[in-house]
Amino acid sequence: MITRLVQADYVAGHRVWLRFDDGASGEIDLAGDLEGPVFEPLRPVETFRQFTLSRELHTLVWPNGADFAPEFLRQKLAGR
């Protein structure tokens, strides 16, 4: 089954509230996942909160091209 993110709302810091097409929802903190050349630029909160929900990719995307796989986000939500 393909995981699809259907709603994403900024909470605070590096936390977002997510809802998936399977009904799962909740808040996750991505602060610990902002490593590497694509994700490190997202560390400033002003930059992090510029994410949008891609209707094509069904996940969070940022203007610099960074995105997290929806499966990763769903797994992170399940493990919180």
Rounded mean pLDDT for each run of 10 residues along the chain, 80 residues in total:
91 98 96 97 98 94 96 91
Q: How far is CA 39 from CA 1, 14, 24, in A?
A: 27, 12, 25
Longest CA–CA separation in the chain, Å: 34
Confirm if 20 and 70 have CB atoms less than 8 A apart.
yes
CATH superfamily of 5-78: NE0471-like N-terminal domain (3.30.2020.10)
- Per-residue pLDDT, 2: 82
Contacts of 31 (CB under 8 A, 6+ apart): 13, 14, 15
- Per-residue pLDDT, 49: 97
- Per-residue pLDDT, 80: 62
3-class DSSP assignment, residue 75 = helix
Domain boundaries along the sequence of the chain: 5-78
- Per-residue pLDDT, 47: 98
pTM, full prediction: 0.92
